[in-house]
Structure 1
Amino acid sequence: MADTLPPGAIHPPPYGVVFGPRANCTLDICPVEISVYGYRPSLAANISFIALYTVAAVVHLYLGFRWRYWWYTGCMLIGAINAIIGYIGRVLMYYNPFNFAAFMIQIICVTTGPVYYCAAIYITLALSINHLSPSISRFQPRLFYYIFIPFDIISLIFQGAGGGLSTTSAGSSKVGVDLALTGLALQVFMLLLFCGLFADYLLRYFRQSKSSSSTIIPSAVDPTRLRLFFGFMSLAILLTLARCTYRLVELNQGYTAGSLVRDEGLFIGLEGVMVLVAVYCLMVGHPGLVFKRDQQKDRASGISQQELQEYNNLK
């Protein structure tokens, strides 16, 4: 950490450990400039994120009970809870920027949240294609289950392993940074591929709906709501892609030594706000708001007939 000190900065005392599992610095004995971020995370911003993610979790839970899309609700809730825990870690770092446990909590939880939102988006589009017009799709909907979600899990493993190696080595492990970079690069690549497939389907779908004498939009689906649904889902995807690209560039400079790591404004705007807005977009992009489903449950299994039909279609 000494190499990253700005000119004129106060050095820690000889017994002070700035970063890592054995860190013993506090604001009483070490200047904030030599902490891993070089600043005290904004208390107001992080409490606001905690409150807004709590609201998002409550709304998504309500929509889950309202529309019975439990897989979607589960992904959104896990992502929101992850974010809440992560921003609690940043609140703890406000009181002690040298708190290594809090640093690990926020690195793991804030970073992994978008993986769950992407899983929700992938499954939603697969079901949308089956519900609307599977015949015009260039690819089978099961592609999102068998390719995109496994690659998301692989990306998560790489990022987690890289983060663990890098942080436990006080940022000195190049292997850790390389692993995390590989995971993030894979996530960005898969998101770009998904954007291309998603855009292709939307263009073909709406082009055919305009040119066909009989609309291909099912009568149960309101065209205006359908456009809102796809519009907000598209916005959520683009925001998530922008956030992942930012984290890729940031990590390219390392976990502890880069200038982007020490820019809280960029973190709040490109990590915090981007992902939070995407989560709220996915309220409008909720499949239950567009696709009507049979709420009658099979008494033995508790599964709706629509869920069974959607599952069988994906086989």
Structure 2
Amino acid sequence: MSSSNSTTCVYFDYTTNQNVTVPCNNLVGSPNLLSGQVEYSNYGYILNHGATYAFIAIYSLICVAHIFLGVFWKLWWTLPTLALGTLVEVIGWAGRVMSINTLYWEINYGGLWMYDFNAFVQQICCLVIAPTFYSAANYVLLGLLLDVTDPLYSSLDTRSIKVIFITSDVLCLLVQAGGGAWAGTSSGPNGGNSGAYMMSGGVILQLVVTIIFIGFFSEWLYRWRKDRPVQRQYKPFPGKKARAQAKASRAAMRQAEDHHHLAAVGSSSGMALDKDLPAIGRAPSYVPTSFSSQPAPESRIQLMAGMITFSTVLIVVRQVSVPSTSVCKPPSLTFNRSIYRSIELLRGWTGPVAVNEPLFLGMDATMMAILSLSYAIIHPGLLFGRRLF
């Protein structure tokens, strides 16, 4: 709350909980009368107009591409993951465009450049939560890769992997969104920073989930390359089909046990028994599923595995040269970006990382643009899709 006349301005200082009277700064763009430096609200800098308009155009085009590819390949799960994630990026950058159009000089507070706070919260919330949709795409994609190779290449069954990681992804999304709502509805800087800390907690939680996912993905990659299925698979969230298969397997084993019991009795009495009954302990073997009449090309499987790697695994040395016959492992974008966002939000809205626009453009905007574009080029439909026309 503030008021002003021709010479003095009064505003409420949330740090001291007192009204402060200072001269009005009517000189647009001049140093702040309190700090002696040019001050900017929210962002801590003047937004780069060219970069802002360029990125919203890039993300808009990629979003249209993801919608088209999802429909073209009839791969509907990519719409609420890849397409929606890119759309959230567009909404976030629309908030930055809105900020550009609402910039004005505020004579209160010693004089500062002021942006619309709602637009600021819109962009920070959307740009922070957008990668969770790409993480969900990775989880689904790993499950599909298990289906076309062999589900026994993982210690967890396909359904459990999807349930555990997608549920965790939704939880991370809710925590980050809750932090954004807290920051957006707070009446002072303390509440805003508390919202930032909550959002940071969601980002860190997502980072932990990503690390665990990397473990399961690495296990599948190793077992697939070495053709070493697990001896025992855990199914904490079995579906109806899995429960039916388990029931049939137990019934077959009981039948086999009865058969061998009768065989032991019959051998002494000379009874003839059916020799076609299954042996004890033999469970129905897995028959790999396929999305077409032809087996999945190994090169396409490698391509999808490389895409998951590209978006999740942090590679310390960025310029690693990988032979074309192996799975590609370039620097991780989501992982790198999560570290950047965690550090940024932990230091609040006014921390040195949060007010560094070149760092934001490099570590967030550019990386997410490359990631979303890569998923449009190396689309899951290349392996799992069925062309619409």
TM-score exceeds 0.5: yes
| Structure 1 residues 130 and 295: alpha-carbon distance in aligned structure 2, compared to 1, 3 A threshold | farther
CA RMSD of aligned residues (A): 2.9
Q: CA deviation at 1:239?
A: 0.8
2:221 is the counterpart of 1:202: yes
- Give the counterpart letter for 2:188 in structure 1: A
Q: CA deviation at 1:293?
A: 4.6
Residue 303 of structure 1 corresponds to none
8 Å contact from structure 2 (residues 52, 93) kept in 1: yes
2:236 is the counterpart of 1:241: no
Aligned positions of 1:155-166 closer than 5 A:
155-166=172-183
Distance 2:175 2:54 in 1: 30
2:271 is the counterpart of 1:252: no
Correspondent of 2:61 among 55, 60, 70:
55
Aligned positions of 1:17-96 closer than 5 A:
28=28, 33-95=39-101, 96=103
Tell me which protein shows more helix as a share of its residues. Answer: 1
| Structure 1 residues 108 and 79: alpha-carbon distance in aligned structure 2, compared to 1, 3 A threshold | same
Residue 223 of structure 1 corresponds to 298
| Structure 1 residues 105 and 158: alpha-carbon distance in aligned structure 2, compared to 1, 3 A threshold | same
Normalization by structure 1: what TM-score? 0.77
Residue 188 of structure 1 corresponds to 207
Tell me the SS of whatever aligns to 1:35: coil
Q: CA deviation at 1:246?
A: 0.8
* Runs (5+) with no aligned partner, structure 1: 1-12, 20-24, 210-215, 297-315
2:119 is the counterpart of 1:119: no
* Runs (5+) with no aligned partner, structure 2: 1-7, 15-24, 32-37, 104-113, 229-287, 313-331
2:300 is the counterpart of 1:281: no
Q: CA deviation at 1:133?
A: 1.3
| Structure 1 residues 134 and 30: alpha-carbon distance in aligned structure 2, compared to 1, 3 A threshold | farther
2:172 is the counterpart of 1:172: no
| Structure 1 residues 192 and 64: alpha-carbon distance in aligned structure 2, compared to 1, 3 A threshold | same
Q: CA deviation at 1:17?
A: 8.3
Distance 2:215 2:26 in 1: 48
- Give the counterpart letter for 2:360 in structure 1: F
| Structure 1 residues 27 and 159: alpha-carbon distance in aligned structure 2, compared to 1, 3 A threshold | farther
Count residues in correspondence.
272
Distance 1:39 1:67 in 2: 43
8 Å contact from structure 2 (residues 59, 369) kept in 1: yes
8 Å contact from structure 1 (residues 123, 145) kept in 2: yes
Q: CA deviation at 1:177?
A: 3.7
8 Å contact from structure 2 (residues 178, 199) kept in 1: yes
Q: CA deviation at 1:188?
A: 0.6
- Give the counterpart letter for 1:196 in structure 2: G
Q: CA deviation at 1:176?
A: 2.8
Q: CA deviation at 1:179?
A: 2.2
Tell me the SS of whatever aligns to 1:270: helix
Distance 1:145 1:201 in 2: 14
Q: CA deviation at 1:294?
A: 8.9
Correspondent of 1:140 among 142, 146, 157:
157
8 Å contact from structure 1 (residues 18, 98) kept in 2: no
Deviations 1:160-212 (A, max 9, x none): 22222234243313643442232111111001111121122112212229xxx
| Structure 1 residues 294 and 36: alpha-carbon distance in aligned structure 2, compared to 1, 3 A threshold | closer
8 Å contact from structure 2 (residues 72, 387) kept in 1: no
- Give the counterpart letter for 1:247 in structure 2: R
Q: CA deviation at 1:251?
A: 0.9
| Structure 1 residues 240 and 134: alpha-carbon distance in aligned structure 2, compared to 1, 3 A threshold | same
8 Å contact from structure 1 (residues 83, 110) kept in 2: yes
Distance 1:18 1:150 in 2: 42
Please say which structure displays the higher CA radius of gyration: 2
8 Å contact from structure 2 (residues 72, 388) kept in 1: no
- Give the counterpart letter for 2:57 in structure 1: A
Q: CA deviation at 1:26?
A: 11
